A and B are shown apart, each in its own frame.
Chain A
Amino acid sequence: MTLFLKMSLASLAFAALQVVMRAAGDSTLIRRLQERDPKALSEVYDRYGRLVYSIIYRIVRNPSLAEDLVQETFLRIWSRAASFDAEKGAIGTWVLTVARNRAIDHVRSTDGRLQAGAMDLDRLENTSLFAQLGTDALSLDRMRRLQEAFQKLTPTQRQVIDLAYYEGLSQTEMAERLKQPLGTVKTWTRSALKLLRDELAGVAIA
């Protein structure tokens, strides 16, 4: 099993470029989604479809299942757009979060891991949270910083990040999986997140 984030510099540069390309026009797009303009969903797909598929595929590792979950993600975006604050909206952050959560939900349910998780994720998709972020959350500057910060993580730090983001494991579950004391796992996680946070500090989210 690949536990580490595979990040070739080329793919990172490409991802960062994609972010710039889709930076503008979120609030209009959200308003059109709320007005039930199907072309707006088509645009959301054009902007984020590849990333949504990539994130889901990274989690489920199965192309046809990934397609099912991409469809589910966009259906959810379509059916819940009404609750989004079009003035401030950072629709990309919401879309990517919904995508990750759909895939994690699926993995958890097939693992037989507790159903309560599904409700958690649902609540964490509350759109008001994303409305506060502004559209620069995925700015090129931030992405470049984050990319550099990632290079500084140790293999164990990357491993715990990977388990939390792409396998949806809690620290207790990580400790079991890695056969390490909980305290050790917590230290790795805390230090990894602190490093990433600190590197981003100073790059403001508008």
Chain B
Amino acid sequence: MTCAELSDIYELYALGVAEDDEKIEMEAHIARGCETCRLGLADATALNVGILNLVEIESPPSRLKRRVLASIGVEKPGWGWVWALSAAGLLILSLWLGLQERTRTNELADARNQLMNTQGQRDRLNQALQFLSDPQTQPASFGRGTNAPPRGYVFLHPQMGVLLIASNLPAAGAGKAYEMWVIPKGGTPRPAGLFQSDGRRGLHILSGPIDMAALGTIAVTLEPEAGSAAPTSTPIIVASAS
């Protein structure tokens, strides 16, 4: 296709909605350094953003700013900001509480109070919060499939490892557990730990350095409680490292 023919779809290409054949043509022009198409795409991007800018204005809740800033660690990780109205903090906290209640039901009639006072749990939660607040952490989202697929986040950090937060995740069931897999680009899945869901959410941390450059995919499968050496079922969560 010529530049003139492509000029009809500059905006659509920049929006990621061009047809596959048009994308290929467009990318060929970009790859060979076509100046006409480069300038055309820049104008198209400006038009696209101009159109987005005409959206009807809605007011976000004021807590949202605190939540955004908390997620990059503006407020230091610690109990202070967990109790602030940080939805991320509350999510982690509530699902962690859920996990605890599930595994230690008898003891934890007053789970919340005890949790706050238990060093080990505090560390675990702090670890998750630190993960979320470090600028090197890279988010990758997942959530595809049909009815109500698990939704959530995978965060990657070169030193801290992998943090997975899944919502809409059913309980694994008797004798079963969720197993996370770290799959290097072009490699085979490596076991990355077992975890449970409280019936709605699951939280899992793989601690330790990871090779971000070699990492391809994080996946989760349902496995026997003791775990498997290789996945034995279809992944229910797949997140690609970008």
A residues with a Cβ closer than 8 A to B are 5-8, 11-12, 14-15, 18-19, 36, 38, 41-42, 45-46, 49-51, 53-55, 57-58, 63-64, 66-68, 70-72, 74-76, 78-79, 92-93, 96-97, 99-102, 104-106, 109-110, 112, 115, 117-122, 124, 129-130, 132-133, 137-138, 142-143, 146-147, 150, 161, 164-165, 168-172, 189-190, 193-194, 196-197, 200, 205
Contact = CB atoms under 8 A, between A and B. Distances in A.
A161 B53 contact: no
Interface SS of A by simple majority: helix
Interface string B58-69: 111100110111
Interface of B: 8, 11-19, 23, 38, 41-43, 45-61, 64-65, 67-69, 71-74, 87-88, 135-139, 141-146, 149, 151, 153, 240, 242
Contacts of A118: 240
Interface SS of B by simple majority: mixed
Contacts, number: 203
Contacts of A196: 47, 51
A79 B65 contact: no
A42 B71 CA distance: 12
A41 B75 CA distance: 13
A109 B144 contact: yes
Given A120-B16, A164-B17, A96 B49 contact: yes
Contact of B54 (A64, A70, A92, A150): A150
